[in-house]
Each structure stands twice: as C-alpha cells, then as structure tokens.
Amino acid sequence: MPKKNAKAQKSNELDGAEFFAAINLIEKEKGIPKAYMLEKITQALVSAYKRDHEGAGDNVTVEADEEAGTVRMFVKKDVVEEVDNPCTEMSLQMAREKLPHAQLGDVIRIEVRTRDFGRIAAQTARQVIIQGMREAERGMIYDEFSSKEHEILTGVVTRVDPRSGAVSLRIGSGSEATEAFLAPGEQVKGEAYLEGMRLRVYVVEVRRSTKGPQVLISRTHPGLVKRLFELEVPEIYDGTVEVKSIAREAGSRTKLAVWSADPDVDPIGACVGPRGQRVNNIVEELKGEKVDIIKWSEEPAEYIAAALSPADVVSVAVREEGKACRVVVPDDQLSLAIGKEGQNARLAAKLTGWKIDIKPASAPADEEPEDEEDVLLDDEAETEE
C-alpha cells in the first residue's frame, strides 16, 4: 500500500525531466520553438491556478529550469496584521511558520505543488497548452504559405463536392501541409478533377482565420499563365524578357504582351521556344487553351494593332481622351479581328487598356474629332508615301 500511495503522489507532481523532453520533442517534430511553448505552458499553469483561487493576480509566477529539470510555481503573499485576501496576503503567524524571521510588510514566496490543482484547473491548463500548440502550428503554416502568394503550387485533390463541384486540395507536406479550396468560379470550364490527381494552382491570397490559414487558389487567374511562362522561359525568369500585360479567358484563350530592353533578344521567339516547345508545354498544362504572344510597344497604335493578332490591321486612329481608338481592317479580316463572339477584340481591349472600335476598310469614313490621329500600318503606310 505505501508503494501505491507513493506512486499516486508522484503522478500528481509535474515531472520536470519529462516536461522538457516533451517540449523538445514538439520542437523537433512540429518545428514549434521551445521558447514559445514555455511561454504558453507558463500562461496555462498560471491560468489554472487562478481558476481555482479567485482573487489571485500577478503574484503567481512559474519558473522553468531546463538544466535543473524543474518546473516550479510560486505565489507571493504580503505579510499583514489582518488578512483581507488569502490569495495575496497572509498573517504574521502563518508567515513565521514558514519563515521564522518573517516581519510585517515582508513578501513571502510560497511554492505551489501541482497536486494542489483542482481537476477543472488542470483541464484549463491542458486546453491552453493544446490551443497554444495549434496557434503555433497555424502561425507557421500561415508564414509558410503567405510567402508563396502569387506563386504556383502543386496540390493533390482530396475531395470533389458532387453538388457544388468545389474541389479541396492538400498543398505542402508534413506538418506544414494545409487544405486549399478551389471554388467553382476559379475552375476552368471543361476541366475534370478527380480525387488523387495532382494539380497546379495559382495562390491568389492567404488569409488568417479562426480555423487556420485559408489558402485561396485559382486555375483561371492570369497570374497562372505568367508564372508558367516564368518556369518555361529562362529569359522571363531572369528579367531579359518582361511580361507587360496578360488578358485571359480561362479555358479558351490568352493574350500575352512581352518586351525586351535588349535589342538582340526576340521576346516572342524566346517565349515560343525552339520548334514551339516552350509555348506548347504551357498550352498542354492549360489543357489546350490558345495562347497569343504579341510584342508590346510604347506606341499605342502599334500595340493595339499587334494585340488584334492574328488579324491584319490597316490603320489605327487613336484618341487619347478616354483612351479610345478606331481600327480599320481589310474586309476579309473583320471576323478574324473581332473573333468568335467578340473574344479577340475583347481580349485585345483588356490587354491594352484601350477601347477598340473595329471597322472594315470598305466602310464609309466617319467624321472624327480633330484630336484623333490616324496611323497607317505596314504596306498601307508605304503606299501612302
């Protein structure tokens, strides 16, 4: 029986060696700093004591000494003639039982044994510790993924909601992995997602929430195309070729405006790659989405004409006010310039930031405002000369 009581008594004590071994293990396995855990556990122990001792305040302290392998709690009490608050004060008689030379006005430090905690207080301590670990893990995951905003990550599809079509993906690995949500509005029409498949996604934003970090991802964002070109085209990655603008209708068509400050570098050729290999790899990743690569120009007329590719352009009349322009194309190029359901013209306008009015060459010339400048392009310009 004495052995059993001794064992029961020991189980109520906080074993310092086991305590430090545990937080060292947590640091190693989950990457949570030891100092952070010590702070949270100290707060938990103090909170647990206060839960059982109403009236206790800042007079409760915890001292953790890893070298000595001890975790000890102390309560400081003022020695007074008449005790009003037993949690912060003690009589001279009680003080002298612990310290024979105690005097009125002294502050006595009394050690609190963990076995003196109530069941509710112990549960409070445990909950605070667990919560602290969760917060640390969430904080680490947030820091990890917030640094990857506007980047491409690869995730594994874990679930496809049969009703809404929403897709859940597991992104990352180990303790730093998290769930990301691909909303129906961020999915490319016609793409099929199956559980277990690997999927490249663009990280739009990382938000903090009560349930942990929320990683907002997309398959339709223009940034996905830009990052894919950075991965495939070394000249874009190192800055030799610059992506000036992107306009995209996901799953159908993308227009990309590129430019290089180096006159010896062909920005379009660099993006297309030998035998079209670079752009073909991107088109394959985008499940067949068409990609038009055009050369950016600081001259609006040249830029707008290039943006309407693959259609030929006769002239561009630009009006700076309102950033509007009138484009004349050969009659047989009108439908090509406008595109199916207006897509080519719409993407060109989005790419350049100009309002584009397309007219066939046979259309009667409208009177234009005096500030409008008509720019003839290519062969038409030479004929005019």
Q: What is the mean pLDDT of residues 18-33?
A: 73
* pLDDT at residue 85, rounded to an integer: 86
3-class DSSP string for 307-331: HCCCCCCCEEEEECCCCEEEEEECH
Output the pLDDT for position 343: 95
Per residue in 157-192, pLDDT (tens digit) is 999 998 888 999 998 766 567 888 899 999 998 888
Identify which of 286, 163, 272, 279 has the alpha carbon closest to the alpha carbon of residue 218: 286
**Going by DSSP bridges, is the β-strand pair 152-160/89-91 parallel, antiparallel, or unpaired?**
unpaired
Q: What percent of the chain has pLDDT over 90?
A: 42
Which of 36-40, 69-73, 166-170 is most confident? 166-170
**Residue in this structure with the two tokens 């990052």, named with its chain if needed:** 227
As a 3-state breakdown, the chain gives helix, strand, coil percent values, each rounded to 5, of 40, 25, 30
pLDDT of residue 174: 61
pLDDT for the residue 6: 45
User: Considering the chain, what is the average pLDDT of its residues?
Assistant: 82
Q: What is the pLDDT of residue 122?
A: 57
Residue 274 DSSP SS3:
helix
In sequence order, what E strands does the chain have? 60-65, 70-80, 89-91, 107-112, 152-160, 167-171, 178-182, 198-207, 214-218, 241-249, 253-260, 290-295, 315-319, 324-329, 355-360, 373-376
Give 325-344 pLDDT, tens digit per residue: 999 999 999 999 999 999 99
Give the mean model confidence (pLDDT) for residues 53-71: 80
Spatial distance between the Cα atoms of 155 and 167, rounded to a whole number of angstroms: 11
State how far the alpha carbon of 308 is from the alpha carbons of 116, 285, 342, in Å.
80, 24, 11
Residue 61: pLDDT over 90: no
What does residue 37 show for φ and ψ, rounded to 5 degrees? -65, -40
Answer whether residue 379 shows pLDDT above 60. no
Same fold, 14-141 and 220-295: no
Q: Domain 147-216, what architecture?
A: Beta Barrel (2.40)
For the domain spanning 14-141, the CATH number is: 3.30.1480.10
370 pLDDT more than 50: no
**Record: fold of 220-295:** GMP Synthetase; Chain A, domain 3 (3.30.300)
Summarize pLDDT for 273-329 with one digit per residue, the tens.
999 999 999 999 998 999 999 999 999 999 999 999 999 999 999 987 889 999 999
Q: 3 or 193: whose pLDDT is higher?
A: 193
Cβ distance 115 to 153 under 8 Å? no
Residue length of the chain: 385
Q: Which structure tokens are listed for 251?
A: 């799953």
Q: In this structure, what token pair is assigned to residue 206? A: 């990382």
Q: 300-363: what fold?
A: GMP Synthetase; Chain A, domain 3 (3.30.300)
| Domain residue limits, the chain | 14-141, 147-216, 220-295, 300-363
What pLDDT does residue 284 have? Answer: 92
DSSP state of 177: -
